[in-house]
Amino acid sequence: AQTVTQSQPEMSVQEAETVTLSCTYDTSESDYYLFWYKQPPSRQMILVIRQEAYKQQNATENRFSVNFQKAAKSFSLKISDSQLGDAAMYFCAYRSAWSNFGNEKLTFGTGTRLTIIP
Partner 1 sequence: NAGVMQNPRHLVRRRGQEARLRCSPMKGHSHVYWYRQLPEEGLKFMVYLQKENIIDESGMPKERFSAEFPKEGPSILRIQQVVRGDSAAYFCASSDPRGDGHTFGSGTRLTVV
CA–CA distance, 111 with 7 (Å, rounded to integer): 8
What is the binding site for partner 1 (CB under 8 A)?
Answer: 4, 6, 42-45, 47, 50, 91, 99-111
Q: Which is closer to partner 1, CB of 5 or CB of 18?
A: 5
Q: Where are the alpha helices (DSSP H) in the chain?
A: none
Secondary structure letter of residue 71 according to DSSP: T
Q: Which is closer to partner 1, CB of 101 or CB of 118?
A: 101
Q: Which is closer to partner 1, CB of 28 or CB of 100?
A: 100
